[in-house]
């Protein structure tokens, strides 16, 4: 039940904001957002990831994944 609720929160966030990162998932109360996203992909959602090179607040170079919901429909399984 908890996993399902967290997966739905991630989907809702991506629909509202266009994408999500692991950190943004943490901000909405999901500590294992990357795991929930992997589960959503296994469930058939078309979620794409893009590596982002950025600079954090301390001026350090960082790299993280941003996840996009490419399609809201679940892929048909054969």
pLDDT at 3: 84
Domain-located, residue 77 = no
Domain-located, residue 76 = no
**pLDDT for 53 beyond 70:** yes
CB of 3 closer than 8 Å to CB of 36: yes
Give the CATH number for residue 22.
1.10.10
Per-residue pLDDT of 1-38, as tens digits, reads 678 899 999 999 999 999 999 999 999 999 999 999 99
pTM of the prediction? 0.83
Q: What is the rounded CA–CA span in Å between residue 51 and residue 27?
A: 20
Domain-located, residue 29 = yes
Q: What is the DSSP letter of 32?
A: T
Domain that holds residue 37: 2-71
């Amino acid at each position: 039940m908890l996993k399902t609720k967290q997966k739905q929160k991630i989907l809702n966030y991506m629909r509202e904001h266009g994408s999500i990162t692991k950190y943004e998932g943490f901000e909405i109360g999901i500590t294992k957002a990357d795991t929930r996203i992997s589960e959503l992909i296994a469930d058939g959602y078309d979620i794409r990831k893009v590596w982002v090179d950025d600079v954090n607040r301390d001026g350090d170079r960082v790299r993280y994944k941003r996840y996009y919901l490419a399609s809201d429909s679940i892929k048909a399984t054969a």
